[in-house]
Amino acid sequence: MRIGGRLLAVALLAVMVCGCYIPEVEKMKTAASTEESYRAWNELIERLSRTPLIYQANPYYRPLGKGIRADWAGNYRQAEEAFRDAIENPAYWQTQYASPHRPMWTLTLRGYLANALFRQGKIEASIQNYSMTEPSFPSLINRGRPGSDDQKGWKIFSAYHCKYYGRALEKSGDIKRALEIYRKSFRYGASEVSADITRLETMEASRAQGLKESLRQAERAEQNGQLREALGHYREALSMSAVLSGSKSIDPQIARKTIEVARRLDPPPAVPEDARRHAAFASISVKEAKDPSGYEKAIGEYLRAVCSAPLWADLYVNAALVYEQMGRYQNAHDFLSCYLLAAPGAPDAAQIRTKLYELEFKAQQGKK
């Protein structure tokens, strides 16, 4: 366990003298599940948090231990407060041992915080914190010597938190990303998530097949001149493409085809109330967005509105602006292209085309 620079050897000696270190490491090695291994990891961390030599040199161990104890007691709100305190209170990071390790331990503490938020049903906040800490897991694991107890401990930590990150993503509807994170959890050692991986792979395959079937029915109806029926199937396919993306985007080719068929209808399809509702939700989400998760929420609402009202041209412009704000220039380009298709006679068409060139350039730069 890395405690802080040269203090490591002394810290381990201290807990070994107290008779705490060896039993907990053995429990981590022999545990039957990731949950049991993680419990043993936290038992060691919690004991360190009550060891004067440790918490005097690394004060953040005190709120960390407090949060772990609250988590064990099921007091997840108290655990959240303790972990936030450890992250945000500068008083815990003033010592010569704590200060250099603040970036690493702040990310680690965010993993604890994300789990406490998940336990309270605060899914969006949990995902936001997990998204910040999960990329650091490989570097945490590599801090330890290959095969060492230190490295095994960080693998347990990473496996456990990827498991619950995946559950949070699944609850949010982002099946694609959840599947990716579950696979990481499995690679880190959480063999029990294999059932989750199989379940989501089956779900993804079924949805992909459903999208293909909707497109097949749409094309057949269009060939038979049944344009309103074709539009219904294209909208279904468009919605499925959004679901498959984890509500992050839609398939631009399906979007363009849906718009083309909708424009051929006379009279054109009316904007349903459900689309107006989602557009209003999106607008509110943009205004209240304080972080990337707020913009992601807005995009999800815009996608629902677009799938319901594919000819409502303003939706594409508004969504494109959010995508650009997020740095997702290709998505912004795709949506502005759809705007021109939905409103070919728009008075700002020339301005939009210029903007498309700008977004194309930015998207290409991002790929380099």
Q: Is the domain of 230 the same as that of 293?
A: yes
**Rounded-to-integer distance, Cα 285 and Cα 296, Å:** 9
CA distance 113 to 128: 10
pLDDT at position 150 is: 82
99 within a domain of the structure (yes/no): yes
Residues 283 and 347 in one domain: yes
Q: How confident is the model at residue 368 (pLDDT cuts 50, 70, 90)?
A: very low
Query: 127 in a domain, yes or no?
Result: yes
Q: What is the pLDDT of residue 290?
A: 84
**Looking at the domain assignment, is residue 185 inside a domain?**
no
- Mean pLDDT value of segment 135-145: 90
CA distances from 209 to 107, 156, 200, 216 (A): 39, 36, 14, 11
User: Does the pLDDT of residue 329 top 80, yes or no?
Assistant: yes
CA atoms within 13 A on the CB side of 22: 5
Q: Within this chain, do residues 33 and 84 fall inside the same structural domain, yes or no?
A: yes
> Same domain, yes or no, for 126 and 234?
no
**Whether the predicted pLDDT of 22 surpasses 50:** yes
Residues 133-142: b if buried by 16+ CB within 10 A, e if exposed: bbebbeebbe
> 347 and 294, same structural domain?
yes
Q: Which token pair is 293? A: 């998760």
Instruction: For residue range 196-205, list pLDDT tens digits in order.
Output: 999 999 999 9
Q: Is 343 left (phi over 0), alpha (psi -120 to 50) or beta?
A: beta
The answer to whether residue 133 sits within a structural domain is: yes
Task: Find the distance separating the first CA and the last CA of the chain, reported in whole Å.
Answer: 38
Find the range with the poorest average confidence among 101-105, 115-119, 306-310. 101-105
2 within some domain: no
**Residue 62: alpha-carbon gap to chain centroid:** 29
Specify the pLDDT at position 21: 46
Alpha carbons 195 and 187: distance in angstroms, whole number? 14
Task: Provide the 10 A C-beta neighbour count for residue 189.
Answer: 17
- My answer on whether 158 and 299 are in the same domain is no
Q: Same domain, yes or no, for 22 and 168?
A: yes
Q: What pTM did the predictor assign?
A: 0.79
Percent of the chain with pLDDT over 90: 77
Report whether pLDDT(87) > 60. Answer: yes
Give the residue-averaged pLDDT of 71-94: 97
Same-domain check for residues 218 and 287 = yes
Q: Which two tokens stand for residue 57?
A: 């040199």
Same-domain pairing of 216 and 154: no
> How far is Cα 214 from Cα 53, in angstroms, rounded to an integer?
65
pLDDT at 52 over 50: yes
For residue 147, the SS3 value is coil
CATH code assigned at 67 = 1.25.40
Q: Indicate the range of 18-22, 285-289, 346-350 predicted with least confidence.
A: 18-22
- Helices 329-342 and 252-263 cross at an angle (nearest 10°) of 10
> Which residues lie below 8 Å from residue 338, measured CB to CB, with a gap of 6+?
252, 255, 256, 259, 316
In this predicted model, what pLDDT tens digit does every residue of 23-51 receive, in sequence order? Answer: 777 787 788 899 999 999 999 899 989 99
Predicted pLDDT of residue 32: 85
The domain total for the chain is 2
Query: What pLDDT is recorded for position 3?
Result: 40
- Tell me which residue range forms the domain holding 257: 202-367
In a domain, 194, yes or no: no
Task: Tell me the HSE value of 348 on the side-chain side, using a 13 A CA sphere.
Answer: 11
Residue 192 lies in a domain: no
Indicate if the pLDDT at residue 11 is higher than 50: no
**Tens of pLDDT, residues 179-212:** 999 999 999 999 999 999 999 999 999 999 999 9
Please provide the average confidence, as pLDDT, over all residues in the chain: 91
Is 18's pLDDT higher than 80? no
- Flag whether pLDDT at 246 surpasses 60: yes
For residue 307, pLDDT beyond 90: yes
CB atoms within 10 A of CB 262: 22
224: Cα within 13 Å, side-chain hemisphere: 11
Alpha-carbon distances of 134 from 49, 71, 107, 179, 194, rounded to whole Å: 24, 20, 8, 14, 19
- Say if residue 222 is in the same domain as residue 358: yes
**Domain with 358 in it: what CATH number?**
1.25.40.10
Type and span of the H or E element at 245: none
In the prediction, which pLDDT does 291 show? 80
For residue 70, give both structure tokens.
């609250």
Residues 224 and 279 in one domain: yes
- Evaluate whether residue 340 is within a structural domain: yes
Instruction: Let me know whether 242 and 168 are in one domain.
Output: no
Q: What are the tokens at 286?
A: 């943009």
